[in-house]
Amino acid sequence: MENVSCDYIIAGAGAAGLASAQYASRSGLQTIVLDLAGPGGQALQIIELENYPGIYPPVRGDEFISVMQKQAESFGTRIIPAEVLSIDKIGQVFHVRTAKTDYAASALLIATGAEHRTLGVPGEKEFTGAGVSYCAVCDGPFFRGKNIIVVGGGDSACTEALYLSTLSEHVMILYRGAKLKADKTTVDRVLANKNITVRYNTVVKEIRGTKRVESVVMEDTGSGSSSEQPADAVFVFIGMNPRTELVDMLAKDEAGCIITNDRMETAVPGLFCAGDVRSKSFRQIITAVADGAVAAHEAEKYVRSLSGAGAVKVKILKKMIGLFALAAFPVFAETLPQNVTFWSDYPADALAETITDRMTDDELLSQIFMFGWSGAEPDEAAVPVGQQRAWQRESVRLEYGRYRTCCKIHFVSSARRVVQQI
Ligand SMILES: Cc1cc2nc3c(=O)[nH]c(=O)nc-3n(C[C@H](O)[C@H](O)[C@H](O)COP(=O)(O)OP(=O)(O)OC[C@H]3O[C@@H](n4cnc5c(N)ncnc54)[C@H](O)[C@@H]3O)c2cc1C
């Protein structure tokens, strides 16, 4: 497994992540952005971005993202296609795990955005990719001149219905509410469009077909009556679910979005959150980008406040190796208290990042062996080597309360392992 260190890691290369990367790189932070699907996120679905100030005439979402990407890279950002699998905080260092590489950084931004909600009706799963779609710009062209149903009544549903109406004269919006809830300009355009009909107070009960979508069974919520509507495609735009699974212990609002303050800080120092995954009232490119910029600004201050931990990493590591060379270890072991806190399978470079240049030798020693948390500790025999990682996670839940991370092993006299690890 490769190990890579930097100042600032960003999970998610959507508008929020790319904006934050640009600001952070420009301010001198070594910045890496990881994205499971490559740069862009939801913005790739925008057919015409016409509400972003300063961009006129409108551009396609992918064009906009391509410029953002180049701009971030021009300041030194590295964008890497990889899914973030887990995040841990060890001391002052964030460890971000992907399939091939472990990343360590002083600050971390969660910008994992949101993914579409599903209807959960019979036929939806079976016909996804065979008429059921969540992306008009991706799949709309397959249904030129066909019967298209759009489910939903918000901004996405209305905007996408307008786009689909350029491909077909037979677009029907099914909406469970009594009034479309997109912004007024968009609603006016939908209602004035002769290719679009709207059925209010209507829910989808089933999507039917043989090999592909052939019809939709819908119910009028007022009368309770059901009817079947011929359809070749069903585009579902009924909202998004925030992607918070990496930080499931953080505080969230009723919609499941992560709560931050206006500096994008979470309850965990150095952990920031930006964009659609964050609790806020307005989810747009411009708010995602603004979140990202604020997070970068705060991350920079945070990283600098760690007394140059990232910048002096190599120097400190060398210093530690000198101080705690294997041969010298028994001397320290004798002087240690009976109950000590230290690492087991803890990467040495990450440990170095938690040590500051200004510390005395004694402080260094205490940082390594006496890391903060001191709950009730099992003895060494109770923590077999192979199980230490699982035990670490549990222990840190106690420390942070709401956040899954690991940093401290707290048990008696296995100090030799620290030296072996270094
Ligand atoms: C169809 C549609 C039309 C829209 N039209 C407009 C518009 O006209 N104007 C406007 O301002 N806004 C529009 N929006 C809203 C706007 O696109 C979003 O608010 C904005 O893009 C959110 O950006 P984000 O970076 O927060 O999240 P996202 O764009 O969702 O990006 C999150 C990224 O994180 C990645 N990710 C998630 N989990 C992981 C993981 N574990 N590891 C690595 N990467 C991960 C995802 O792959 C994704 O690339 C539209 C949205 C949609 C869906």
Contacts of 184 by beta carbon, 8 Å cutoff, 6+ apart = none
Query: Residue 193 has what pLDDT?
Result: 98
* Residues 400, 268 contacting (CB under 8 angstroms): yes
Q: Would 2-114+241-306 and 132-238 be classified into the same CATH topology?
A: yes
Q: Is the CB of 84 under 6 A from ligand 1?
A: yes
At 334, list the tokens.
Answer: 């004798």
Return the CA Rg of the chain.
26
Q: Ligand 1 atom 8: the closest Cα is on which residue?
A: 49
Q: Ligand 1 atom 15: the closest Cα is on which residue?
A: 284
Is 135 annotated in the active site?
yes
DSSP 319-385: HHHHHT-GGGHHHHHHHS-SEEEE-SS--HHHHHHTS-TT--HHHHHHHHHB-S-------GGGS-G
Class of domain 2-114+241-306: alpha beta
Which has more confidence, 377 or 261?
A: 261
Is pLDDT at 105 greater than 60 in this prediction?
yes
* Ligand 1 geometric centre to CA of 114 (Å): 6
* Ligand 1 geometric centre to CA of 236 (Å): 16
Q: Which of 138, 248, 253, 345 is catalytic?
A: 138
Is 273 annotated in the active site?
no
> In angstroms, what CA-CA distances link 417 with 324, 328, 422?
12, 14, 9
Task: Say which DSSP state 60 is in.
Answer: -
Q: What is the pLDDT of residues 158-198, one digit of tens each?
A: 999 999 999 999 999 999 999 999 999 999 999 999 999 99
Q: Map out the domains of the chain as residue ranges.
A: 2-114+241-306, 132-238, 312-421
* Ligand 1 geometric centre to CA of 33 (Å): 15
Is 139 annotated in the active site?
yes
Q: Which fold has domain 132-238?
A: FAD/NAD(P)-binding domain (3.50.50)
* Ligand 1 geometric centre to CA of 284 (Å): 9
Pocket test for ligand 1, best of 42, 45, 164 (most atoms within 8 A of CB): 42
Categorize the per-residue pLDDT at 137 as very low, low, confident or very high, splitting at 50, 70 and 90: confident
Ligand 1 atom nearest the C-alpha of 160 is: 1
Q: What is the pLDDT of residues 354-365, one digit of tens each?
A: 434 444 444 444
Which has more confidence, 331 or 17?
A: 17
Q: Ligand 1 atom 51: the closest Cα is on which residue?
A: 42
Q: Which of 62, 135, 155, 220 is catalytic?
A: 135
At 410, list the tokens.
Answer: 């707290």
* Ligand 1 geometric centre to CA of 279 (Å): 14
Contacts of 306 by beta carbon, 8 Å cutoff, 6+ apart = 92, 106, 356
Is pLDDT at 34 greater than 60 in this prediction?
yes
Which SS3 state, helix, strand or coil, does residue 122 take? coil
* Residues 33, 299 contacting (CB under 8 angstroms): no
User: Residue 173 burial by CB count (10 A; 0-12/13-18/19+): exposed, middle or buried?
Assistant: buried
